């Protein structure tokens, strides 16, 4: 199937939470608190995003509590949340068109399990599954899976590459036209349409075949967020939609340029890969009112939360005794997400921030303004090629999502930049090719 390139149109993914993405969002007046496991609120939000024309719901994840220190963790919503694949399966049956993107780590799962779960979600949802491939970053995750420490950076990406090769190989272990279910002859699956994988890598092995027919999308859509050099090369090899967190449009354009070079080096077409930077909007009828909301939210951040938010992202140094109102001290290199740590440290150095200023900027890094101002910002990035869409995190709920949908989206619609554009599958919504795989192709490749 050849890709008939649609007119370029904005995609929005909703970074899913029922209490909002801001660490103090749950404390905001009128905001949801204690709804992290409220399935009815999750359904309401999923349907809200779908009715607004969002392309996807995206569920981030770590396989541990999301923070190392009780003084901070006990003041956030990061200790208790749904597991992404069960949540998205539950939402798949009460939505019809929106994409469903679950995070799953290659470091602490088995590829056969992941291939099967995403294939199942793709079947159940009628072709709406997406997989955000991560390699895990939080040290606590390793300790939940029998390891003293996390795989080092290079090793976990090597394992991740084998993992994705196995998963896609398993999705291709049964050809599209192999499952004929012919009641008359009694043949359910043509043997010539099945190809075991027999993969034996350095880190992983799996024989296959998968025990489910090929997913409606062929492959669920692969999402990735690698930003370090090794991560970006990984994204260029496998990613179809790339999450990025650039601090400004120059960084975003620089990232896109580097990604395009890496894509070409992999023999891929840059236009086939979408980049969705993150966006946390606070919209109000005046700029001053939006500023006031942002300040009110940031004032609800407890000192312990501010301190640990930076500590947990830059390395293995104890921040307990750091003065929040002094500059960020010198820090050693970390085995965690290298790009994230470097970005945070650079943010502090470039602006001469105190630890408090840095933490508020990092946590509360929202795009603030009137509907027109936020639409301007989105338009600027989109038209400059810095973004194909945005991964939108709403600081508090309800409120922030509704305001964005009711006030910003109409402006973007009026400017011809956004409209509802659901296809029959998530791939079609995104304008991505389906990787077809027939018995004829299988036999030709043998």
Partner 1 sequence: MTLRQAQDGALRQAQDGARTLHLNAIYSAAGGYLGGWRHPDAPARAGVDFGFIVEQVRKLEAARFDALFIADLLGVPDSHPDVLERVATVNDSLEPLTLLSALATVTRRIGLIATASSSYNEPYTLARAFASLDHLSHGRAGWNLVTSLIDAEARNFGLDAHPEHDDRYRRAEEFLEVAYGLWDSFDDDAFVWDKDAGRAFREDGIHRLDHRGEHFRVAGPLNIARSPQGRPVIAQAGASPAGRAVAARHGEVIFSGARRIEDAREYTADLKRRAAAIGRDPDEVKVFPLLSAIAAETREQAQEQYALLKTLLHPRVALGDVEYWLGSVDLTTYPLDGPLPELPVSNQSQSAQQQFYEAARRDNLTIRDFADRVSDAEGIVVGSASDVADHIQEWFETGAADGFNVGFPYVPDSLDSFVELVVPELQRRGLFRTEYEGATLRENLGLTRPETLRAAKVADVA
Q: Which of residues 367-396 bind partner 1 (CB under 8 A)?
A: none
313 binds partner 1 (CB under 8 A): no
By beta-carbon proximity to partner 1, the closer residue of 109 and 228 is 109
Q: Which of 66, 131, 171, 276 is close enough to bind partner 1 by CB under 8 A?
A: 66
# chain residues binding partner 1, by CB under 8 A: 75
Q: Which of 17, 18, 55, 77 is close enough to bind partner 1 by CB under 8 A?
A: 77
Question: Which tokens go with 356?
Answer: 């408090």
39 binds partner 1 (CB under 8 A): yes
297 binds partner 1 (CB under 8 A): no
268 binds partner 1 (CB under 8 A): no
335 binds partner 1 (CB under 8 A): no
Q: Which of 116, 292, 338, 361 is close enough to bind partner 1 by CB under 8 A?
A: 116
Q: Per-residue x/- marks for partner 1, 124-163, CB under 8 A?
A: x---------------x--xxxx-----------------
Which residues ranging from 422 to 441 are in contact with partner 1 (CB under 8 A)? none
Please give, one letter per residue, the 3-state secondary structure of the chain.
Answer: CCCCCCCCCCEEEEECCCCCCCCCHHHCCCCCCCCCCCHHHHHHHHHHHHHCCCCEEEECCCCCCCCCCHHHHCCCCCCCCCCHHHHHHHHHCCCCCCEEEEEEECCCCCHHHHHHHHHHHHHHCCCCEEEEEECCCCHHHHHCCCCCCCCCHHHHHHHHHHHHHHHHHHHCCECCCCEEEECCCCEEECHHHECCCCEECCCCEECCCCCCCCCCCCCCEEEECCCCHHHHHHHHHHCCEEEECCCCHHHHHHHHHHHHHHHHHCCCCHHHCEEEEEECEEECCCHHHHHHHHHHHHHCCCHHHHHHHHHHHHCCCCCCCCCCCCECCCCCCCCCCHHHHHHHHHHHHHHCCEHHHHHHHHHCCCEEECHHHHHHHHHHHHHHCCCCEEEECCCCCCCHHHHHHHHHHHHHHHCCCCCCCCCCCHHHHHCCCCCCCCHHHHHHHC
Beta-carbon count within 10 A of 325 CB: 9
340 binds partner 1 (CB under 8 A): no
By beta-carbon proximity to partner 1, the closer residue of 82 and 238 is 82
By beta-carbon proximity to partner 1, the closer residue of 52 and 212 is 212
By beta-carbon proximity to partner 1, the closer residue of 190 and 421 is 190
By beta-carbon proximity to partner 1, the closer residue of 108 and 238 is 108
Q: Which of 44, 123, 413, 421 is close enough to bind partner 1 by CB under 8 A?
A: 123
5 binds partner 1 (CB under 8 A): no
76 binds partner 1 (CB under 8 A): yes
338 binds partner 1 (CB under 8 A): no
Q: Give the range of 28-36, 259-267, 320-328, 330-338 binding partner 1 by CB under 8 A.
A: 28-36
245 binds partner 1 (CB under 8 A): no
Q: Per-residue x/- marks for partner 1, 165-184, CB under 8 A?
A: ---------x----x-x-x-
How open is the CA angle 403-30-405, to the nearest 5 degrees?
A: 10
CA distance from start to end of the chain: 21
Kindly state the smallest distance separating residue 220's Cβ from partner 1, in Å.
Answer: 12
Which residues ranging from 87 to 106 are in contact with partner 1 (CB under 8 A)? 87, 89-94
Q: Give the range of 198-206, 256-264, 347-355, 392-400 binding partner 1 by CB under 8 A.
A: 198-206
Q: Per-residue x/- marks for partner 1, 204-243, CB under 8 A?
A: xxxxxx-xxx------------------------------
Whether residue 219 contacts residue 435, with contact meaning beta carbons closer than 8 Å, is answered with yes
70 binds partner 1 (CB under 8 A): yes
């Amino acid at each position: 199937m050849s890709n008939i390139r649609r007119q370029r149109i904005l995609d929005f993914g909703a970074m899913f939470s029922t209490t909002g993405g801001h660490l103090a969002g749950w404390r905001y007046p009128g905001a949801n608190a204690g709804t992290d496991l409220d399935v009815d609120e999750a359904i309401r939000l999923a349907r809200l995003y779908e009715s607004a024309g969002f392309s996807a719901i995206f569920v981030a994840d770590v396989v541990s509590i999301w923070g190392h220190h009780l003084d901070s963790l006990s003041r956030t919503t990061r200790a208790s949340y749904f597991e992404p694949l069960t949540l998205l399966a539950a939402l798949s049956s009460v939505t019809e068109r929106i994409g469903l993107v679950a995070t799953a780590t290659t470091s602490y799962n088995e590829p056969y399990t992941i291939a099967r779960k995403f294939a199942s979600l793709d079947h159940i949802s009628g072709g709406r599954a997406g997989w955000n491939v991560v390699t895990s970053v939080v040290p606590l995750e390793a300790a939940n899976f029998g390891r003293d420490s996390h795989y080092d950076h290079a090793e976990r990406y090597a394992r991740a590459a084998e993992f994705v090769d196995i998963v896609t190989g398993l999705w291709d272990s049964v050809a599209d036209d192999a499952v004929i279910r012919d009641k008359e002859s009694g043949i359910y699956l043509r043997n010539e349409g099945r190809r075991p994988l027999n993969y034996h890598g350095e880190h992983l092995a799996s024989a296959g075949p998968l025990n489910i027919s090929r997913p409606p999308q062929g492959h669920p859509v692969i999402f990735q967020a690698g930003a370090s050099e090794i991560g970006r090369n990984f994204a260029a090899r496998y990613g179809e939609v790339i999450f990025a967190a650039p601090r400004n449009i120059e960084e975003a354009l620089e990232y896109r340029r580097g990604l395009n070079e890496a894509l070409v080096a992999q023999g891929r077409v840059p236009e086939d890969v979408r980049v969705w930077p993150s966006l946390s909007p606070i919209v109000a009828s005046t700029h001053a009112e939006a500023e006031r909301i942002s300040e009110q939210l940031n004032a609800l951040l407890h000192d312990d939360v501010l301190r640990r938010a930076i500590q947990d992202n830059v390395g293995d140094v104890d921040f307990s005794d750091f003065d929040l109102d002094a500059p960020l001290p010198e820090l050693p290199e970390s085995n965690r997400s290298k790009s994230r740590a470097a970005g945070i440290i650079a943010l502090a150095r470039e602006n001469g921030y105190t630890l408090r200023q840095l933490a508020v900027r990092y946590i509360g890094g929202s795009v603030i303004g009137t509907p027109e101002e936020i639409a301007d910002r989105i338009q600027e990035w989109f038209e400059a090629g810095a973004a194909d869409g945005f991964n939108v995190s709403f600081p508090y709920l309800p409120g922030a999502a509704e305001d964005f949908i009711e006030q910003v989206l109409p402006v973007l619609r009026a400017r011809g930049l956004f409209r509802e554009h659901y296809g029959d599958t998530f791939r079609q919504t995104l304008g991505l090719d389906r990787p077809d795989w027939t018995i004829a192709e299988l036999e030709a490749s043998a």
